Every structure is written in C-alpha cells, then in structure tokens.
Amino acid sequence: MSELPEELAAPVDETPTPARPAWLVELLSWVRFGFSVAATYLVFTSIAFILFFVPSESMQPGLQVGDRFVVSKWAYGWSRDSIPFGLGRVLPTKPGRIFFRSPERGDVVVFVNPNNGIVMVKRVVALPGDIVETRGGRLYLNGEQVPRTFLSLVRYRDRFGNIQTAQSYSEKIGKDAKRNHRIYEFSDEYGFGSWSPDRAGPFLIEEGHFFAMGDNRDNSNDSRSPTGPGQIPMENLIGRAEMVLFTFARCKTEDGLECPPSRLWRLM
C-alpha cells in the first residue's frame, strides 16, 4: 500500500498536554484511597463482622456499659439490616434472609427494634412455637421452669451514681444450652405500677419471630415490656455477639461494691 503524499497527510498536533498540578494529583490519590477504604469497610461489615458498643445496663453482668463487642453478620444469614449505618432501610421492604440460619436459645443477638428502628442487644430465650412467661420472677419456657442457681448478692453503682443491690444467678436456657450464663434480679416481685417484668405473659411465639430478654432481668426494656420490641422478626437480626473486644468503661473501686475488671478479648 502506497503512502499518502506528504501534502495530504493529516497534521500531527505536537502541543504537549499540560501537566496536572502536584496538589491535584495528591488530592485525587487520597480521594481514590478513601473510596477504596470505604468500599472495603462497607463490604466487610455487611458480610463478616462489625463492632457495637453497650449503651445501657440491660445485659449486665455479661456486658457492661461501654463494652465494645464483635458481632458476626454471617451467623444467621443476611438481610437488609445487615448493611451498616442503617443504609438497608432505604431499600424496598422484602421480608426474609439470605442463607438463613435460626438463632439458638441462649444466643446474645443484635437486632433492629421493629417498633422504632433502634439497634438493641438481648439474649434469645424463645423461638417459634415456644410459650414463654415470667411468674414470680422465674422464667418459664414451654411450661417448665428454667433452672437457675443462686450465686451471690451483688452491690454496684449504676451509671447514674446510684447503688443497686442485685441477686446474681447462673441460668441455663433450654435443655440443649451450650453453657450457663449469669443474670441479675433485683427481686422476684419487681414492678412498675400495674406492670412487672416478673409477671409477664404467657406469649406464644409466632412463626418467623423470636423472643428476647436482657440478662439484667429487672432493668431491661425487652420483649416482655409493653414499650419493648415485642416479638422480633427474624429478618431484623443483625448478627450474634461473639466476644468483648475492649471497653471504655471505668469504675471507681469502692469497699463493698463490685467493680468489673478490665475486659479485653473475652468470649461471650
């Protein structure tokens, strides 16, 4: 193939492209890095693990105010509530979970309160088909009293500075429970006017739901309470609490009062 005559060849623009300022190159580099980190964090915390903190005393003594604990997202499968920062709430409502696995009685779980959208942490005490109630401060599951063993009286200063006296028990939920856990009770006849957490139910747990309670049984706004989350849909599960990573909680050592020791890398 013959070459075009020199007079017909397209002119070549040899004007050099102006270089970007160094500050702009640096800025764009940091922006790309930031987006990469944010995307990686969003994917990781949507699929694997995320860190939560304890804002109240409802899960004492196992979880103290200020504890930072790790939650496994994959434990029960994924739903729109698995997406961090509440971003899943903008998605269309589609009940259900991907790769769903049911929680077990005794699991400490993080979930979204179906009544107000607040993220909560409680212990699963009943599953679909179970009948649960409290009578005289004792927990009953399917007509049988859940066994508990008295450990000691505990006096502690709450986050408002008041001294509380609680009875500490070791409790085992369900015959197939993996291990015992500790609970607090102020008394077996604790109440607030016409309602008492020690006299609630019976509740028949609906299909696709679970019933949760705090370990600090007389200081927990949970499924028993008229203002609590009620029976919680399985799709509202975020994950299972696995371990306390560290805590920002600090308490002053006082004679006769319990002050929880430092908590670091402690399994639930």
Assess whether 94 carries a catalytic annotation: no
Given 73, 122, 220, 223, the catalytic residue: 122
Contacts of 212 by beta carbon, 8 Å cutoff, 6+ apart? 109, 111, 120, 122, 123, 124, 125, 222, 223, 229, 232
- The residue type of 100 is F
What is the Cα gyration radius of the chain? 27
| Active site (annotated) includes residue 262 | no
CB 172 within 8 A of CB 183: no
CB 230 within 8 A of CB 222: no
DSSP for 117-138, please give it.
Answer: --EEEEEEEE-TT-EEEEETTE
Q: Which residues are catalytic?
A: 58, 122
